[in-house]
Each structure stands twice: as C-alpha cells, then as structure tokens.
Structure 1
Amino acid sequence: MNGFVIGGVSSGVGKTVATLATCQALADAGYAVQPAKAGPDFIDPSHHEAVAGRPSRTLDLWLCGEDGVRRNYHRGEGDICVVEGVMGLYDGDGSSTAMVAEALDLPVVLVVDASAGMESVAATALGFQTYADEIGRDIEVAGIVAQRAHGGRHEQGIRDALPDDLEYFGRIPPTPGLEIPERHLGLEMGDETPVPLEALREAADTLEAERLAAVASESPKPDESVHTEPDPVDARIAVASDAAFCFRYPATLERFRERATLLTFSPVAGDPVPDCDAVYLPGGYPELHADALESAGTLAELGQRASDGLPVLGECGGLMTMSQSLTTADGECHEMAGILPADVTMHDRYQALDHVELEATDSTLTAASGEHVRGHEFHYSSAEVGSDARFAFDTVRGDGIDGDHDGLTEYASLGTYAHVHPESGAFETVLERLDS
C-alpha cells in the first residue's frame, strides 16, 4: 500500500483538518483511503475513521518498535495510506513524525500556516526540507499544503515562491466550520463532533488529489522472520466500550479477536459484566460520566467479581474507575468500583504527558518480573494511594502514579496510568496467563 505522511511545522498548525480534507479529496477522486496516526493519540484517529470509514492505524516507534510500526501499517487496507503526524515534524525524542516517516520510507507533505505570508511560506518549507540533511534524517519533504490560505493572488504568490523540488498540493481555506471543538486531553471525539461534510468537501475541493496520490510511495514490509504469530487461547475477554471507555487502539481489539473471544459491554449503560475470563477497561472520559457510572451498578458488580479473582486490567480511565472514588474538577465525589486502594482527583491542568517505560518488580498481568513495558501517559487526574498499596512497576521513564511507580495491583487485577499498544507484548502476556 502506497502512502505519505502529513507533517506540520508545529502543533496547532491544522494537521488534523488537513488530514481529513486530504482523505476526503482522495476519496472523492475514487481512491480507497487508509488513515493512520503517528504518535499515541486516540482522538485524531476517531475523526479519521469518521471520514475514511476505516479504523486509523497507530504508528509509534516507542510503543511498537520499527517492525511493529511496519506491521501495523501493512495491516491497513486501501489504495493510499494518509498518515497524520504528531506535533511539529521534528519534535519528539521517542517517536517524532520524521522518525516515523523515515522508518516507513514515506514522503512528507508539510502543512504550513499561510494566513499571513507568501514567500515566507516557501522559506519555511525549504528550511524543513533542508533540516533533514542537517540532522541526518533520511526523509523527503515533497511539498506543502497551505493552511488558512486564500485563493487568487495569495495562492499564486505561494506557488510562485516555492522552489522546483517542493510541490504545491493545494490549500485549506480559512473556514470557521472546520474548527473542531477542544476539551481536556485534546479535540472532541469524531463520533461526538464530526467535521461538517459540506465544509470538509469545500476544503477538499482546493486540494490537488491526483498530485497527492502521485507522491505516495510504497513502504517496506517488516522482517517477519523474527516474528511469530502466537496461537489462539481458550479465553473470553470483555472490553468496556462506551463514551467513558473510548481510548483503545484498533490493533488491541484485533489482537483480542484473533487470539480469544472478544465481548463488549457498557458500564455507563449499566450492562452486566459478561461471562468472561478477564476484563479490559481502556481509557477515556469516566470523569464526564461519573454520575452514570456510580448509579448504573456495573462497577459495583465488577468490584465484586474482581475480589472473587476475575482479572481486571485498567488503563488511565480504567485505573480511575477501578479506584475507590473519583472526584471531578467541580469537587463532586463519586464512588467507583473499589478494586484498588486509591482515590482519584481531577485537575484543571494535565498531570503527566510523555512516553513511558516501566520495569516490572514482580510478575503481573502484563509483564513477568524484570520485564520492561513501553507505553504512553496523558492524564489530568492524580491518585492518592493507601499506605498498603502495592505497585507492580518502577518507572524508568515517565511519572506513573506517584513519580516513581505505576501499576496498582490488588487480587488478580492491575490498574496503570500507562496506555500500551499490543506490539509492546503486554496483551500477549495477559492472554498467555489466561491460557496457563
């Protein structure tokens, strides 16, 4: 599958809107589009899927490793893969957009804010192109999309200023209808606030779809000689899936379906906990649904099942709901599942944001003693833990729960602030434990 990467000159330049407009332009031209996201984000991919009709692939070198990134890329379907970058093109030491483009050997289409410039837009793009050589990155900045650019003289001035080896792929006009509302943790989810189709098509019409399709190139496949797909296990995995538990990678659900029986349930709706061998509580927005979670009864049942030995794995929002209580930013305290000896409080500012590395201090759900697990943390909450709390991990990188540790463990359950990808091997450990 051919593809290209949409990189930005900085955060906030409009990569997501440019990506959605590009997906729409290519789809309108008759191409089947596979979206993807460089970095660990859950929210931008929800908008990708709403437009392209396919789950967006997660491409993060820290989470997945180079072969894992290539495997996840090639598990996509379609004619062209459009990869949205993270932050500015070269930003990030764990897995920058440039690092992902290099690992996949894909060209970069650079999004440049053109709202107040013409020749300066070309100068900025040229600087990003030549900087790759300066730092020894083997990537090709093939051209630009001019974000917030008007037509007529403004557009022509940008075209004329670009050097011959930088293509002009079109512009995104300044359209208020294309702005996606934000809240803590980023944009609102794609199924909550989809980009209006009329405004998106207006932006897509100003992009040059055939030029974009022509620049896409084939990515090398992973070295499968060092990778063996594990056998299925006789296990039933129940995954919480609703507006409070919406941060899960498509690859995680794929892995569960391939190796076990996957069941879903909604704690917000009060669904009973399914007959299962383990429960996975992904991250999301439990703080926005704390009333429903407290009153629905599912968490109380889950707490009882966990105390009887049912393994429950919670990530971030999952950790929050496994705790004794959750206090929202307005000071309201809500009773949660009571599996873990912790009380969680929401804050106005984020408490942690980074790629993380954890070392297991003992054998736990997702790792054997001494093993390292890589993940990502981004949360606005903090957890006050009891004096008898037991941690499963030391933090090698990141903040974890208390700055030095992550992974509260109780009964056969584990709650962590770290989100992990199946390429980390963590979910394989869960499945092998259920099969033993």
Structure 2
Amino acid sequence: MKGFVLGGTASGVGKTVATLAAIRALENAGHAVQPAKAGPDFIDPSHHERVAGRPSRTLDLWLQGADGLRRNYARGEGDVCVVEGVMGLYDGDESSTAAVAEALDLPVVFVVDASAGMESVAATALGFRAYAARIGRDIDVAGVVAQRAHGGRHADGIREALPDEMAYFGRIPPNDDLDVPDRHLGLHMGDESPVPDDALDAAAEGLRTQRLAAIAREPAGAAEPNGTGRPVEPTDDDRPCVAVARDDAFRFAYPATIERLRERATVESFSPVAGDPLPPCDGVYLPGGYPELHAAELAESPALDDIASAAAEGTPVFGECGGLMALAESLTTVEGETHAMAGVLPADVRMRDRYQALDHVELRATRDAPTASTGTTLRGHEFHYSDAAVASDARFAFDVERGAGIDGDRDGLIEHRTLGTYAHVHPASGAFDAFLDEI
C-alpha cells in the first residue's frame, strides 16, 4: 500500500484538517484511503475514521519498534495511506513524524500555516527540508500544502516561491467551520464534533489530488501483517471470552488491540455508562477514555459492581488510565464531586486543572502481572489530568524507568488478578498476549 506523511511546523498548524481534506479528496477521486496517525493518539484517529470509513492505524516507533510499526502499516486496507504527523516534523524524540517517515521511507507533504506569509512559506519548507541533512535523517520533504491560504495572488505567491524540486499540493482556505472544539485531553472526538461535510468538501477542492496520489509510494522493508509477530491462534469453540468496555467513558483503544484480542479470543463489548451488566467472560479490559465526564452514571452502573465481584473471584481485569480510574475506590471530578467507583484498587482518584503526565513511558515489572512477567519491560505512553492517592499498603507491579506512573516511581496497582495502570500500551508490546495467556 502506497502512502505519504503529512508533517507540519508545529502543533496547531492544521495537520488534522489537512489530513481530513486529503482523505476526502482522494476518496472523491476513487481511491480507497487508509488513514494513520504518527504518535500515540486516540482522538485525531477518530476524525480520520469518520471521514475514511475505516479505523486509523497507529504508527509509533517507541510503542511498536520499527518491525511492529511496519507490521501495523501493512495491516491497513486500501490503495493509499495518509499518515498524519505529530507535533512539528522533528519533535517527539524517538518517534517523531520524521522518524516514522524515515522508518517507512515515505515522502513528507509539509503543512505550513500560510495565513500571514507567501515567500516565507517556501523558506520555511526549505529550512525544514535542509534540517534533515543537518541531523543525518533521510527525509524527503516533497512539497507543501498551504494551510489557511487565500486564493489569487496569495496562492500564486506561495506556489511561485517554491523551488522546482518541491511540489505545490494546493491550499486549504481559512474557514471557521474547520475548527474542531477541544477540551482537556485534546480535540473532541470525531463523532462528537465532526468537521461539517460541506466545509471538508470545500477544503478538499483546494488540494491537487492527482499530485498527492502520484507522490505516494510503497514503504521500505517487507512486513507481515500479523500484529505482533506471534502466530495467529486457530479459532475454535474453546477460545476465552474477553469483555471490553466501549462507550463514551472508555474510548481509547487502539484498533490493533481489538484486532489482536479477536484473533485469540471472543470479544464481548458492553457499556457501563449505559448501565449494561458485565457479560459472562473470562477476562475484562477497560480502556482509557473520559470516566470523569460520566462519573455519576458509572457510580450507578451495575457493571462496576459486577467487575468488582469478578475481580474478587480471580477473573483477570486490566484497566488502562480511565480503566484504572474506574477500578479505584472513588473518582473526584474537577468540580469537586466525588463518586464511588468499583473499589477494586486501593486508590482515590482526583481530576486536576492541568495535565499530570504527558510522555512515552517504559515500565519494568517487579512482580508477575497480567500484562508482563517479572523482569520484563513494557513501553507505552501516558496522558492524564488525574492523580491517584494510594493506600499505604498498595502493591505495585512496575517500576517506572521513564515517565511519571502513579507516584513518580511506580505504576500498575495490582489486587487479586486485577491490574490498573496510567500507561497505555500497544499490542506490539506483547502485553495483550500476556493478558490472554493469563486467562
């Protein structure tokens, strides 16, 4: 599957809108588009999925390694992949947009805010292209999309200033309807505040679709599409059942995670917010999300009582970030309202006004846990506005070698066969295979 990467000068330059416009333009031209996102993001991919009609792939070298990244790319469907970058092109240490583009050998279409410049847009793009050689990266900045650019003389000035070796891929005109509202963890999700179709169509019309399709190329390095490199288990009637919470409170699950679970188990989705009981199962997965926005509904949900009972009986339960919050004793919202949660893990969680952690993380297991055995390491990422006050006798499964964890040094509260972490992990880490082996 051919592809290209949309990189930018910085966060907020309009990469998400440019990505959505490129997806729409290519789809309108008859292409089957596979969206993807560089970096550990759940929100931008929800907008990709709404426009493309298929889940967005996560491409992160820290979470997956180069082989895992290539495998996840290879699992995509379509004839062209549009990869949205993260932050600025070179930002993000070991898994910057540039690093992802280099690992796949995909060209970069550079998104520049042109609202207050013409020739300077070309100068900016040339500077970013030259910087790759300075730091020894093999990055092909193939051309420019001018974000927030007017037509006429403005667009002509940008196009004429570009050197022959850099293509002009079009412009996205200023339009307030293209602005997506945000909140504490980023933009609203794609189904909450979708970009209006007429605004997206207008943005897509400004792009040079044939040039975008022509610049896409096959990635470097052969990769088998299997998600973790482990053989896919044969299906049979004895496969375990994993209950997965999926609703507005538990939204942050990578598509590859659900795919891996389905390869080895039967997946039963349920909605604690809607009052669903826990379905009969052999294991429970609670992804991250926004439990703080639905704390009252969760406090009344029979699902949390069911999960507490299942955990006490020894059923493996894994909660990531929002899942950790739901497994705690209580959750206090930023408004100061305290709600009882499942009470499986000895912690009281409180929301804060600013984020408490934002980073890639590395954890080393200090005891056997549902996602890792003693001495092994897991890589993931954390982004949360809550903190957790834990009991003095709380048991932790991991030492934090990078990141903040729960108390700065440790992560992974463990009780019975229940594990709650602030870290989100990708199936390429092997964590979900270990979880399924635990069942």
1:253-402 superposed matches below 5 A: 253-402=258-407
Distance 1:400 1:285 in 2: 18
Residue 431 of structure 1 aligns with which residue? 436
* Number of the residue aligned with 2:242: 237
The letter for the 2-side match of 1:392 is A
Deviations 1:181-216 (CA, angstroms, capped at 9, x unpaired) = 000110000011111000000000000000000000
- 1:26-425 superposed matches below 5 A: 26-222=26-222, 227-232=229-234, 234-425=239-430
Structure 1 unmatched runs, 5+: none
CA contact (8 A) 1:71 1:221 kept: no
Please report how far the alpha carbon of residue 297 of structure 1 lies from its aligned counterpart in structure 2 after TM superposition: 2.0
The one-letter code sitting in structure 2 at the alignment partner of 1:52 is A
In 1, the alpha carbon distance for the partners of 2:111 and 2:209 equals: 15
**Within 2, Cα distance between the matches of 1:414 and 1:266?**
20
Identity percentage of aligned residues: 69
Aligned to 1:171, the other structure's residue is in SS state strand
1:235 and 1:166 map into 2 onto residues whose CA distance is 53
Deviation at 1:228, TM superposition (A): 3.7
Question: Within 1, Cα distance between the matches of 2:292 and 2:37?
Answer: 26
2:114–2:121: 8 Å Cα contact kept in structure 1? yes
- Post-superposition Cα deviations, 1:317-368, rounded to whole Å, max 9, x if no partner, equal 0000000000000000000000000000000100000000000001100001
AA aligned opposite 2:313: D
In structure 1, what is the Cα distance between the partners aligned to 2:70 and 2:99? 13
Secondary structure of the 2:121 match is helix
Contact 1:74/1:221 (8 A) holds in 2: no
SS at match of 1:217: coil
Deviation at 1:230, TM superposition (A): 4.5
Work out whether residues 46 and 56 of structure 1, in 8 Å CA contact, stay in contact via their aligned partners in 2. yes
SS class of match (2:424) = coil
Distance in 2 (alpha carbons) for counterparts of 1:97 and 1:222: 20
- The two structures have a TM-score, normalised by structure 2, of 0.97
Q: Which runs of 4+ in 1 moved over 6 A?
A: none
Q: Is the 8 A contact 2:316 2:438 kept in 1?
A: no
8 Å contact from structure 1 (residues 268, 289) kept in 2: yes
Mind listing any 5+ residue stretches in structure 2 that lack a counterpart? none
Assess if the C-alpha contact under 8 Å between 2:74 and 2:223 holds in 1: no
Return the offset for 1:295: 1.2
3-state DSSP of counterpart to 1:306: helix
1:104-159, Cα deviation, whole Å (9 max, x unpaired): 11000000010000010000000011111111111100000000000000000000
Tell me, in whole angstroms, the C-alpha distance in 1 between the residues paired with 2:33 and 2:232: 30
In the TM superposition, residue 223 of structure 1 has moved relative to its aligned partner by 5.2
User: How many angstroms apart in 1 are the aligned matches of 2:295 and 2:156?
Assistant: 52
Secondary structure in 2 matching 1:343 = strand
C-alpha distance in 2 between matches for 1:51 and 1:228: 32
Per the TM alignment, residue 310 of structure 1 is displaced from its structure 2 partner at its CA by 1.2
The 1-side partners of 2:253 and 2:403 are apart by: 20
Query: Alignment partner of 2:93: what SS?
Result: coil
CA distance in 1, matches of 2:49, 2:121: 30
Quote the Cα distance in structure 2 between the aligned partners of 1:70 and 1:77. 14
Secondary structure at the residue paired with 1:109?
strand
Separation in 2, partners of 1:251, 1:329 = 32
| Offset of residue 308 of structure 1 | 1.4
Asked if the contact 2:232–2:263 (Cα under 8 Å) also holds between the matched residues in 1, the reply is no
RMSD: 1.2
TM-score (structure 1 length as normaliser): 0.98
After TM superposition, give the deviation of residue 39 of structure 1 in Å: 0.3
